[in-house]
Structure formats: structure tokens, C-alpha cells
Structure 1
Amino acid sequence: MTQVGEGHETAADEAGPVLTFGAPTVGEILAERYQLEAHVNNDSAGRQVWRGIDVVLRRPVAVVLRHPGGSSATEMLQAAVAASRVIHPNLVGVYDAIDEQDRAYVVREWVDGESLRDMVGAEGPLDPARAIAIAHAVSDALTSVHATGMIHGNVHPGSTLIADDGRVVLADARADEADSVESDIRAVGGVLYFALTGHWPHAEVGASALPDANRDSAGNPAAPRQVRAGVPAYLDDLTMDLLDGRVAAPAADALTAELGRLDAAAEDEEFEDVGPLRFVQNPSAATDQIRSTPKILIGVGALVVIAIIGLVFGIRAISNSTQPDTQATAPVNAGVGQGDSQDGQAPAPSPTKIALEASMVRMVDPPKGERKDSDQAKFTVDGKADTAWETSRYENRSNFGNLKPGMGVLINLGAPRNLSEVRVATSTPGATIDVRTGTSDPGDSSTGDKKIVDTYTRLGDEEPEKKAGTNFVFSGFNPDQKYQYVLVFVSDLPEAEDGRGGYKISVNEIELYGY
């Protein structure tokens, strides 16, 4: 049984400490709540992994302990806190993170099953349909992680767990400065490659390193179709493109969409009819993400573009030859690269993420509010997953205990500009949030806050509803209108996730996209 804490080995991990002083024992209860039942293994960082029971909620848990605690365990605890804010069916649940100085431990969901590493090691490479399904689940989990601004940093066959009920769970996020969104995506390609071949294509150190890929003289891994028979060509192309640093990595949501398409085709056993790869970026994704497609398609696309350009010039030349001579000397606009279209309108530019700073945001807390959260507005735009605006605890869910209509964060862009989308990431599902716009800020006071709530216009015509997830996306901005003041407003709270009763929420990140 492989449990959490079984990801990639690194040089730092090899030198990791092994818990000796203050070693736990069977039957010991940590934090007056988590009873240790059995020592499962030691992970690659020298931490002990235990199976335990939450004696309060009566559910099994995995407990990962490290010695010593204190500053040396800060990175582990911070990673756990950040991971706890992302709730997704394909992410292992993180319940608690405790530092006792002599030792520190993280309490996580217990998964009955095995890791992808153990599964492939015991059974050999998986069939393409199963490999696609696993990669799809991992990519879907990363989509939620990246949407909060986090990086997982440990996507690996050892941290990819397959539960006995078939659920695929990604565990043990522990990103460091060397990790990035792109490295997460490349690692999905590695997981797919490992599932198809039983070999790991990325560099790795440590005694328990996975079998290395077969490589050519330049060190490049052999394609899956060269290692085993039965791998569809489209899947071979996708895997190798994800591993090729010369091909731009797609965003996690684009990769998830493509793997979902392939997953559906695999279920219908229509491998040969699936068609070419087609990464479709979210319209509001960053513009520096370039489509990733098989290289042959890029060449074909270039030829098609050249043919279209030639056709455009040909048609215009014929058209110009039928005009009076007075038109012949008029300057010719080729259109290519200048945005001309049939109706003479330039295509709309792609929206990009707007850089927000602490000076551009403030809390809005209408009358009857205590206005004590004012210093937390900056945490919603700092790009950090482990900081957030955290509301007080309220006895009732609706209208903050009938004290006030809600609370929110006001964003002043400094000047009017076109907007496309607002994204909000929260800690807990079940909140009601809407976006409102206005033309001025009447002042950082109870009176000014009341005027904002009373006069700002809600985006969209529908009444806001509670959302099951933790990631909100608001669109519907008028493309012909510019906006300077945007209010993200929370009007209904979910039940507090710490089990202490009442209702509260943390707003981790707010992002605006525009032109």
C-alpha cells in the first residue's frame, strides 16, 4: 500500500531526516484527535507515513510526520495549508497541519488503493484507454490547483494514487522555487509516458528512481510506439509533444479538455476516429500560452495560411483591375497582419490578466459591519495561495447573520478600461458571490460602503446562486463599455470547514482579465 508522501526523489530529499526522537507509537493520539494505528512506510524525504483514525469524525486518515518541527518543517506545513484550500475529487484531501516543534505532521485523506508506480510495477504498462483516463484525472486536478495560483510540483507516478473504487487522486503537493506551471504540465506527459511504457522520461535521482526511458544518442526518450505495440498515433504524438521543451506547453485547462475528448473516444473504442489533437485555450488564458499540436499539423497549417494569403491577393488584384484608373494608384492594404476582415472591423484582441496591487483594493463592509477586515483586502491580489481574506465566523448563513447584506472587495483600476472576465478562488464550496460595477468610490467609510452596495450594478441579469465549487468565473462585461470600479461581493457564506460550527469563508485570490 503506497500512500501520500511518495513522490519524486530529489537530492534534498535524499538528505532528509528520519524521525527518531519523539518517535510515534501505535495507539498514540496526536493533537487529542488523531490515533495512530499502523506505520505504513517512510517517504522519500525521510518522513514517516502512518495510517490513523480521526477519533472525532471516525474516519481513516494518513498522518505524515517529520522530525524536527519548527522552521525546518515550515515548507512542508505551508505546502499542506496551501493544498487544503483546493478541493477537487482528484486531489487528496488535506485536513490538518500541526507543528509541535519536536515534530510536525500533516493529516490527510487516507486512500485505499495503490500508486501508479506500484500498479505499473506489478502489472506492467497499462492499456491506452486506462492511461488516458489517469492522465485526464491528474490534469483536471492541476486545472484547479493552477486556477488558485498554486503549483503542485510533485506530479509523479508515486504521488498518483488509484483508489480501490477506481478514483484517481493526486497527492503530496510540495512545490519549490524550481517548479512552475509548465513543469507540472510536462510531468503529466511523464505520467502518461510511464503508464504506457513503464519507464520515466524525466531526470531523477535517488535509490528508488523509476526505470529510465530508452533513449537515443542525444538523450531523447524513445516514443511510446517504439517501446510497445498498440499505442494509437494521436496518443503517441500528444505524449511526446508534452515532453518536448521545444513545443509550448498548453495550459492545464486546455490539456484537460483534450484528454477529456480522448478519454471519451477511448470509452467508445473509436481510437482511429478521434481526429487530430486540438488544444483550445480558454479565451481568457494568458496570451503567452501557444497552442501545442503535432509538428506535422503546424507545417500543414502554415501551407494553408500561405494559400489563403495568395488567394486574398489574387482576388484583390482582379478586383483592382476592374476599377477605373483613378483607383489604381490608391495604396493597397494587404490586410494580413493588420486585422482587416470582410466588414472592415479589426478582430478583438485576446484578453490578458490585469496586474493588481494592494493599493488598488479595499474592503467594502456595509453598515452594521465592524470593518475589522480592512487590512486583508491585499491578500486577495498578492498571487499567493497561502494568504487570503478570511471572514469572521457568523451564526447564520444568509446575509451574514442578518447583520448586513454581505461583504466584498472593491477594485479600483485607476482608469476606465475594457474588461472580459473576473475569476475568484475561495477556500470552501457553497458561497454566493456576484460581481458589481460602478462609476466612483464614495469613500472608505460605512456610509461610502452602503452607497456602493446600494448603487453599483450587478453583472448579468440573473440572481446569484450558491456554487458547489471553489472557483468562480464571471463574464458578461459590455465590450463597448469601459470599467474602473469592480466589486466582488459575498452575500451568502458556506459552513465553516474547520468543524467548529458557524459560517465563514476565505477568499484566496481575485483576478481580472481585460484589454
Structure 2
Amino acid sequence: MTQVGEGHETAADEAGPVLTFGAPTAGEVLAERYQLEEHVNNDSAGRQVWRGIDVILRRPVAMVLRHPGGDSAVEMLQAAVAASRVIHPNLAGVYDAIDEQDRAYVVREWVDGESLRDLVAAEGPLDPARAIAIAHSVADALTAVHATGMIHGNVHPGSTLIADDGRVVLADARADAADSTESDIRAVGGILYFALTGHWPHTEVGDSALPDANRDSAGNPAAPRQIRAGIPAYLDDLTMDLLDRRVAAPASDALTAELGRLDAAADDEEYEDVGPLRFVQSGSSSSSEPIRSAPKIMVGVGALIVIAIIGLVFGIRAINKTSNSTDAGNIPVTQPTNAGDSTVQQPAPVPQKIKITPDMVRMVDPPRGERLDGDQAKYTIDGNPATVWETSKYNTAPFGGLKPGMGVLINLGEKRSLSEVQVTTSAPGATIDVRTGSSDPGDSSNGDEKIAKDFKSLSDEKPEKSSGTKWYFSGFDPNQKYQYVLVFLTELPRAEDGDRFQISVSEIELSGY
């Protein structure tokens, strides 16, 4: 149950170290009213987050504490006071803001549920309808915030809370001088992108604990439809337009209206045919016509030019046919691919799940391994979550020091462009690495040893432990093709019965083109 509401996930800032001196304890009553019950977590600025009880009103509260108070806590307290003036069902209510000099704290609504960050980590990317509903609620909350002249400044998967009753709650406003209403709107695009892909597209917040987006050589994130199949084109366009600073950001009320339209269509299961975006900017124009983004205008103009050229060609053919019937049809008609300097862009290919058969997979268990699990590799690609590859039990997480790891080798039969690997496990906490090589040296101890030695990891970073039972990797180079892919476990979580270390892998899925 996450109540941290992190946003700017950088290291703890200089004005907000982790509370040490005068650290709070469970059972302590602050301001003669708020009793601390349980320490939940520390946020990225070093503040402690506690679940507490308002002993007067007998209701649960979330308490964000900071040491020291005084001048260093002014920004936090001012943001809390400003947020307390906005009442909205999609905003976490702020009840109190107190400065005791030695420490300061904000008391806000406790939300029974989890953050969007933890939800996606546990369940994987969300379906388009649910992603739209969450983004709609966040945009609605921002409309209320912006209407007061306030900026939220902390729209993030960690501050977007999903209550057990389904309500979406935006928490912990934390605006500073660099934030703006536009940055809030761009962050809604980030929420959509994260909900749809499981990756965070923004880079300006510094080092993030969230998985980074798959980027091109210029650092631009890949579109959701390039990462995952089944995302409607209009939703892909909306998400990327919100992230693209070359495209004017809509006002929060215009974004809320558009997301509300899409949300309603999703409820009726008609969102696949919902049509083009219809932003109507308020305040800046009296026209009722939608304001279209520059890329869409260029595509529209290019299409009109193409139509005009085709019409001209057919007109010439008609004239020639009238003047000389024996030459009719001799004028070749070509379909132009560009008009002037504007190339008509072809739609980006959509990644599809790759069908993998048992003969395309085998277990890799380097020397000093028992090679006892070979017949279980087929269970990881059969589409049946009830059949699994279950490792043996080991005394330590890194396979008891017996071997560097073990995994499943997939031979696609030919080189293919890949977009993502998805691994479903029985428990979080496994360290998984994706490696590639040029050949399979053979299903033997020597062959496994050579694979473990020669196959190269696709990530420059040290693999991190999975935080949920679904693990995603999208670091494939879009300019390369791959035939041999190794999904390699290097560390195991503790077994469910607490006896040593073990995990089960139920599904491995590859997507590509």
C-alpha cells in the first residue's frame, strides 16, 4: 500500500534530509491530535510518510514529515496550504500543515489502495480503456487546480493513487519555480504513456526509479504503438502530442473534455472508432473550431496536394482520351509518395506477439548446474499459466554460487526486429537479464557454458530485481535484428515457504515485427 506520492525522483534534496534527529515513533501524538501508527516509506526528497489517526475525528490520515522545519520547510507547507483550498474528488484532501521548527508535517487524506507505479509493476501495462479513465481523472483534478491559479508540479505514477473503490486520487502537490501549467499537462501525457507501456518518457526529472522509455538516437521515446500491440491510433497520437513540446499543449479543461469523450466511448466499447482529436482551447480563441497540431496540419496539406496531383493526372488522361482515342491509357499514372518537400508518412508498424513453438526453445543451465529442467522450457511458451518451469531450490539468491544463472534460449529461426520481452513469474524479486548471440553452440554442458560466456546483455546497466510478477524489457535496438534471445535468471527470490530460494516462470512472450 503506497502513500508516498513521489514525483521528482532524484536523490534527496539538500533542504530535505531523511529525518534522523527527533525521529518520530509509532504511537507518538503530534499537535495533540495526530497519532502515528505505521511508517510507510520515505519519499524522494527524504521525507517520512506515515499512516496515522486523527484522534479527534477518528479517521485515518497520511502524514508527511520533514526535518528540520522552519525556512527549509516553507515550500512544502506553502504547497500544502494552497492545495487545501482546492476540493475535488480526484485530489487528496489536505487537512493540516504544521511547523514545529525541529520538524514540519503535512496531514492529508489517507487513500486505501496503491499508486499507479505499483499497480503497473504488479500487473503490467494497462488496457487502453483503463489508461484513459485514469488520465481523465488526473486531468479533471488539474482543471480544478489550474482554475485557482495553482500549479500541481508533481503529476507522476507515484503520486497518482488508485483507491480500492476505484477512485483515482492525485496527491502531494509540490510545485517549484520551474513548474508550469504546461508541465502539468505534459505530465498527463507521461501518465498515459506509463499506463500503456510501463515506461516513463520524461527525462527532465533526472535519474528515475521508473523504467525509462525506449528511445531513438535523438533521445525521443518510441510511440506506444511501437512498443505494444492493440493501442488505438488516436490514443497513440494524443499521448505523443502531449509529450511533444513542438505541439502546443491544450489547456487542462480542453484536455479533460477530450479525455472525457474518450472515456465515455470506452464505457460503450466504441473507443476504437472514436475519431480524431477534438481539442478546443478555452480563453485564447472565440472560434469553435478545434485547434490542430502542426504535424497533423502538414499531413492534411500533403494529402490534399496528393489528391490534386492525382486529379490532374486523371484530367489529362480524360482530355487525351477525348482528343485521341487510339492513345487512350498510354499516359502512365504513378502514385506520388511526396509533394514538394513534404513526404507523406507511412504508418509506423505495430508490434505483434511472436508465435513461439516448443522446438524453438530450450533450457540453458551452465556447468555446475544439474541440467534437470530441460523438459520444462516448453511450459514457458505454451500460453497456459498453470504449466510452469520451476527452478530447484538454492541456498542463496544467486544460485548458491554454483553457476552464473540459468534461463531459456529462444531461436526465432530467422533474424527479426523485436520490441519487447515479457516474463511472468510466480513472485517478484527475481533478477532477469536479456542477452543475445549469433548462434546456438549446442544443447550440452559445453554449449551452455559458451552461451553464458559469449551472449551479450542488451542493457548497459546492471539488471534490477523485478518489482512485480510481470517483468518487461524493451531495450532492443530498432536498427538491429535478432534470432537468438536468452532470458537469463541471475538471482532468485526467497521461496514461498521461506525455505531457501526458488521461482517459477509461467510465460515468456516476445513481440516484434
User: TM-score of the superposition, structure 2-length normalised?
Assistant: 0.57
Question: Are residues 294 and 170 of structure 1, via their aligned partners in 2, closer, same or farther at CA, if it must alter by over 3 Å?
Answer: farther
Following superposition, the deviation at residue 60 of structure 1 comes to: 0.4
Tell me if 1:260 matches 2:264.
Answer: no
Q: Which residue of 2 aligns with 1:69?
A: 69
Q: Which residue of 1 aligns with 2:98?
A: 98
C-alpha offsets along residues 9-57 of structure 1, whole Å, 9 cap, x if unaligned? 1356377301111111111111111011111111111111000000111
Map 1:68-467 to 2 at 5 A: 68-203=68-203, 209-283=209-283, 291-293=291-293, 295-297=295-297, 299-300=299-300
Mapped contact 1:125–1:195 kept (Cα < 8 A): yes
2:36 counterpart SS class: strand
The letter for the 1-side match of 2:160 is: T
Q: Which residue of 1 aligns with 2:46?
A: 46
C-alpha offsets along residues 204-262 of structure 1, whole Å, 9 cap, x if unaligned? 56665211100111111000000000000000000000011110000000000000000
1:144 counterpart SS class: helix
1:35 counterpart SS class: strand
Question: Are residues 169 and 25 of structure 1, via their aligned partners in 2, closer, same or farther at CA, if it must alter by over 3 Å?
Answer: same
Cα distance between partner residues in 2 of 1:279 and 1:134: 19
Give the gaps of 5 or more residues in structure 1.
308-515
Question: Are residues 57 and 301 of structure 1, via their aligned partners in 2, closer, same or farther at CA, if it must alter by over 3 Å?
Answer: farther
Mapped contact 1:214–1:221 kept (Cα < 8 A): yes
Cα distance between partner residues in 1 of 2:198 and 2:36: 34
Following superposition, the deviation at residue 7 of structure 1 comes to: 1.9
Give the gaps of 5 or more residues in structure 2.
308-513
Cα distance between partner residues in 1 of 2:28 and 2:103: 14
Cα distance between partner residues in 2 of 1:286 and 1:203: 36
Q: Which residue of 1 aligns with 2:16?
A: 16
Question: Are residues 237 and 294 of structure 1, via their aligned partners in 2, closer, same or farther at CA, if it must alter by over 3 Å?
Answer: farther
Question: Are residues 301 and 95 of structure 1, via their aligned partners in 2, closer, same or farther at CA, if it must alter by over 3 Å?
Answer: farther
Q: Which residue of 1 aligns with 2:3?
A: 3
Question: Are residues 117 and 13 of structure 1, via their aligned partners in 2, closer, same or farther at CA, if it must alter by over 3 Å?
Answer: farther
Identity rate, percent: 85
Following superposition, the deviation at residue 4 of structure 1 comes to: 3.8
Following superposition, the deviation at residue 304 of structure 1 comes to: 7.7
C-alpha offsets along residues 62-113 of structure 1, whole Å, 9 cap, x if unaligned? 0100000000100000000000011110000000000000000000000000
Q: How many residues align?
A: 305
Cα distance between partner residues in 2 of 1:91 and 1:301: 42
Cα distance between partner residues in 2 of 1:70 and 1:110: 25
Mapped contact 1:248–1:290 kept (Cα < 8 A): no
1:13 counterpart SS class: coil
Cα distance between partner residues in 1 of 2:103 and 2:290: 45
Q: Which residue of 2 aligns with 1:491?
A: none
Mapped contact 1:98–1:105 kept (Cα < 8 A): yes
User: TM-score of the superposition, structure 1-length normalised?
Assistant: 0.56
Following superposition, the deviation at residue 302 of structure 1 comes to: 9.0
Tell me if 1:30 matches 2:12.
Answer: no
Cα distance between partner residues in 2 of 1:303 and 1:280: 24
Mapped contact 2:38–2:52 kept (Cα < 8 A): yes
Cα distance between partner residues in 2 of 1:21 and 1:286: 57
Question: Are residues 155 and 201 of structure 1, via their aligned partners in 2, closer, same or farther at CA, if it must alter by over 3 Å?
Answer: same
Following superposition, the deviation at residue 300 of structure 1 comes to: 2.4
Alpha-carbon RMSD: 2.4
The letter for the 2-side match of 1:107 is: V
